[in-house]
């Protein structure tokens, strides 16, 4: 837990390292902000702190128009934690409450709705409905300011039950009507609105080593589903298709990193430019969340580098690549199947079973096959596909990681190394040691690297490829 003195010092020094880790509100203005907000520092006695934007909104504060606190990276804590609160936050981020309600969220977690409400309120200051509401408001603001859609279309695309609910929420959260929010968009942003797709900035905190992530995606890409354009590091664009709850999507992410203006150099975060094409705009929140997990954009590089940099074996590697990430998965089930199948077989599966897009986008014309389409495949691949298809194995954002790994180990032919790789990548676990990966003379468990063993593996892998 961050104490109040540290929080106020972060606000006073406009420390971007804490953006998304907490929010502060000013009682005299009724506004809440991110810690790096460039506005005049408020008096300490007037400041209140919140774990989530939803908690600040629930206390009657509206979002700052200057620092846009709804656009910060997510807290790294939810990726680390394996308890019910961490799992619930990941599921809410994936849009489960909008699609299935609080009852659906509770059912996935194995708790009653009342228990989930109580635990979330106690730890993050807001229940699942309020957290989902804050997320809907952010989605709606993005759509208002980046697309030419009518306000009514945006209301339902963002997940609101009615236009009245949408209007009331936007006024409460931003102190602006939807029409005013649209008018607030910069001319540059409105100029691209009529083009295909939704342009987004995918924010991250601290340094970000984009090249190793894009190199990995280049090695793993499956034709028809993924492609990497551009021939020079720093100028490449990764594109892929997505199967989403309401439809399909094609997403693209630019390797070029943009730095957050105004922050101190040692605390400076930034963003990656992305563009998302969706057949159903209700999938925007889910698509963004999956991209963030794929590119590991909610990580806390300060905590990771401090811990790993204390190890003499890793210190020079961390110094050479500050902010190295541990990529996750855009589709956990797909990635698990690809890990088991291997690249050559994955390409064959796409060619034989991949569903064609109604509107191909360049070389991207298929989705990776769903698990039920591969259930009749022989061996380990078929066993994995059947376990995913019938729900025996869950790899969604709220899956219990220990239960998932235990289930994986029961599948015929699936060894401990493969199970660990699936846990690290598909489930986004930041603290996995992969059997056989420890360097000579190192502790095979990687105990000194906890809770960031997945990142230690990335550093060692990057060293071997340099």
pLDDT of residue 30: 97
Q: Which domain holds residue 136?
A: 79-191
Instruction: Assign 442 a pLDDT band (cuts: 50, 70, 90).
Output: low
Q: Could you tell me if 255 and 211 are in contact, meaning their C-beta atoms sit under 8 angstroms apart?
A: yes
pLDDT of residue 193: 45
Say how many domains are in the chain.
4
Taking 50 as the threshold, does the pLDDT of residue 392 lie above it?
A: yes
Give the E-state strand segments of 12-143 in sequence order.
23-26, 31-33, 47-50, 62-63
Say whether both 424 and 338 belong to one domain: yes
Instruction: Assign 146 a pLDDT band (cuts: 50, 70, 90).
Output: confident
Instruction: Assign 262 a pLDDT band (cuts: 50, 70, 90).
Output: low
Token output for 284 = 């925007």
pLDDT of residue 138: 95
Q: Could you tell me if 466 and 321 are in contact, meaning their C-beta atoms sit under 8 angstroms apart?
A: no
Q: What is the mean pLDDT of residues 379-404?
A: 97
Beta bridge partners of 25: 32, 48
Query: Among 16, 50, 71, which residue terminates a domain?
Result: 71
Q: Is 437 a catalytic residue?
A: yes
Cα separation values, 67 from 23, 126, 128, 255, 261, Å:
11, 22, 25, 24, 11
pLDDT of residue 48: 98
Give the E-state strand segments of 279-379 in sequence order.
356-361, 364-366
Say whether both 218 and 265 belong to one domain: yes
- Measured in degrees and rounded to the nearest 5, phi and psi for residue 261 equal -75, 150
| 434 within domain boundaries | no
Say whether both 128 and 149 belong to one domain: yes
Pairwise CA distance, residues 263 & 395, whole Å: 37
Instruction: Assign 188 a pLDDT band (cuts: 50, 70, 90).
Output: very low
Taking 70 as the threshold, does the pLDDT of residue 169 lie above it?
A: yes
pLDDT of residue 439: 67
DSSP letter at 19 equals B
CA angle centred on 332, ends 155 and 132, rounded to 5°: 30
Catalytic residue among 15, 298, 305, 437: 437
Taking 60 as the threshold, does the pLDDT of residue 458 lie above it?
A: yes
Token output for 394 = 């869950």
pLDDT in tens, 78-88: 988 889 999 99
| 268 within domain boundaries | yes
Say whether both 105 and 165 belong to one domain: yes
Evaluate if pTM is beyond 0.85.
Answer: yes
Taking 90 as the threshold, does the pLDDT of residue 194 lie above it?
A: no
Q: What is the mean pLDDT of residues 182-200?
A: 67
Q: Establish how many alpha carbons lie within 13 A of residue 363's alpha carbon, considering only the half-sphere containing its beta carbon.
A: 13
Q: Could you tell me if 357 and 366 are in contact, meaning their C-beta atoms sit under 8 angstroms apart?
A: yes
Q: What is the mean pLDDT of residues 191-195?
A: 45
Contacts of 426 (CB under 8 A, 6+ apart): 328, 329, 332, 333, 335, 336, 339, 395
Catalytic residue among 15, 19, 33, 37: 33
Say whether both 273 and 340 belong to one domain: no
Closest CA to 229 of 237, 221, 219: 237
CATH number of the domain to which 33 belongs: 3.40.10.10
Query: Among 71, 102, 127, which residue terminates a domain?
Result: 71
Say whether both 176 and 219 belong to one domain: no
CATH number of the domain to which 409 belongs: 1.10.340.30
Q: What is the mean pLDDT of residues 245-252?
A: 96
Say whether both 232 and 249 belong to one domain: yes
pLDDT in tens, 218-243: 999 999 999 999 988 889 999 999 99
pLDDT in tens, 37-77: 999 999 999 999 999 999 999 999 999 999 999 999 999 99
Q: Could you tell me if 234 and 254 are in contact, meaning their C-beta atoms sit under 8 angstroms apart?
A: no
Q: Which residue has the tokens 């540290």?
A: 6
Give the DSSP H or E segment for 173. helix 163-174
Instruction: Assign 99 a pLDDT band (cuts: 50, 70, 90).
Output: very high
Say whether both 53 and 132 belong to one domain: no
Say whether both 186 and 245 belong to one domain: no
Say whether both 92 and 151 belong to one domain: yes
pLDDT of residue 117: 97
| 321 within domain boundaries | no
Instruction: Assign 191 a pLDDT band (cuts: 50, 70, 90).
Output: very low
pLDDT of residue 463: 76
Q: Establish how many alpha carbons lie within 13 A of residue 428's alpha carbon, considering only the half-sphere containing its beta carbon.
A: 31
Say whether both 150 and 131 belong to one domain: yes
Q: Is 67 a catalytic residue?
A: no
| 464 within domain boundaries | no
The percent of residues in the chain predicted with pLDDT above 90, rounded, is 84
| 243 within domain boundaries | yes
Query: Among 162, 191, 220, which residue terminates a domain?
Result: 191
| 305 within domain boundaries | no
| 315 within domain boundaries | no
Taking 80 as the threshold, does the pLDDT of residue 263 lie above it?
A: no
pLDDT in tens, 275-331: 999 999 999 999 999 999 999 999 999 999 999 999 999 999 999 999 999 999 999
What is the end-to-end Cα distance of the chain in Å, rounded?
37
Q: What is the mean pLDDT of residues 206-223?
A: 96
Among the residue ranges 153-167, 374-388, 404-418, the one predicted with the least confidence is 153-167
Pairwise CA distance, residues 144 & 117, whole Å: 30
Instruction: Assign 466 a pLDDT band (cuts: 50, 70, 90).
Output: low
Pairing of strands 226-229, 62-63: unpaired
Average pLDDT, the chain: 92
Say whether both 159 and 117 belong to one domain: yes
| 181 within domain boundaries | yes
């Amino acid at each position: 837990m961050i104490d109040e003195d540290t929080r106020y010092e972060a606000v006073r020094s406009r420390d971007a390292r804490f953006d998304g880790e907490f929010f502060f509100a000013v009682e005299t203005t009724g506004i809440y902000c991110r810690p790096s907000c460039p506005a005049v520092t408020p008096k300490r006695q007037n400041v209140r702190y919140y774990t989530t934007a939803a908690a600040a909104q629930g206390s009657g504060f509206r979002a700052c128009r200057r620092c846009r606190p709804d656009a910060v990276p997510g807290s790294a804590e939810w990726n680390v934690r394996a308890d019910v609160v961490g799992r619930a936050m990941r599921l809410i981020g994936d849009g489960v409450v909008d699609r299935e309600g609080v009852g659906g969220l509770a059912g996935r977690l194995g708790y009653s709705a009342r228990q989930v409400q109580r635990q979330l309120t106690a730890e993050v200051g807001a229940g699942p409905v309020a957290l989902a509401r804050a997320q809907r408001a952010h989605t709606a603001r993005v759509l208002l300011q980046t697309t030419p859609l009518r306000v009514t279309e945006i209301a339902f695309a963002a997940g609101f039950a009615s236009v009245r609910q949408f209007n009331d929420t936007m006024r409460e959260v931003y102190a602006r009507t939807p029409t005013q929010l649209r008018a607030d968009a910069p001319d540059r942003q409105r100029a691209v609105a009529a083009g295909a797709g939704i342009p987004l900035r995918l924010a991250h905190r601290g340094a970000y080593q984009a090249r190793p992530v894009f190199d990995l995606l280049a090695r793993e890409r499956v034709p028809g589903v993924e492609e990497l354009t551009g021939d020079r590091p720093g100028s490449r664009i990764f594109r892929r298709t997505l199967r989403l709850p309401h439809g399909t999507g094609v997403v693209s992410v630019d390797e070029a990193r943009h730095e957050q203006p105004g922050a101190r150099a040692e605390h400076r975060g930034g963003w990656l430019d992305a563009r998302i094409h969706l057949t159903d705009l209700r999938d925007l929140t889910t698509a963004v969340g999956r991209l963030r997990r794929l590119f590991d954009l909610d990580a806390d590089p300060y905590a990771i580098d401090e811990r790993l940099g204390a190890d003499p074996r890793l210190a020079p590697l961390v110094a050479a690549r500050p902010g190295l990430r541990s990529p996750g998965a855009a589709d956990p089930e797909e990635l698990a199947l690809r890990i088991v199948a291997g690249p050559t077989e994955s390409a064959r599966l796409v060619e034989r079973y991949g569903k064609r897009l109604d509107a191909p986008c360049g070389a991207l014309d298929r989705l990776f096959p769903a698990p039920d389409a591969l259930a009749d495949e022989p061996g380990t691949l078929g066993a994995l596909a059947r376990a995913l298809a019938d729900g025996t194995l869950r790899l969604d954002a709220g899956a219990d990681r220990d239960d998932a790994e235990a289930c994986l180990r029961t599948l015929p032919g699936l060894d401990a190394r493969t199970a660990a790789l699936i846990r690290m990548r598909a489930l986004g676990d930041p603290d996995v040691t992969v059997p056989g990966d420890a360097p000579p003379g190192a502790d095979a468990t990687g105990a000194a690297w906890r809770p960031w063993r997945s990142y230690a593996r990335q550093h060692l892998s990057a060293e071997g490829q340099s």
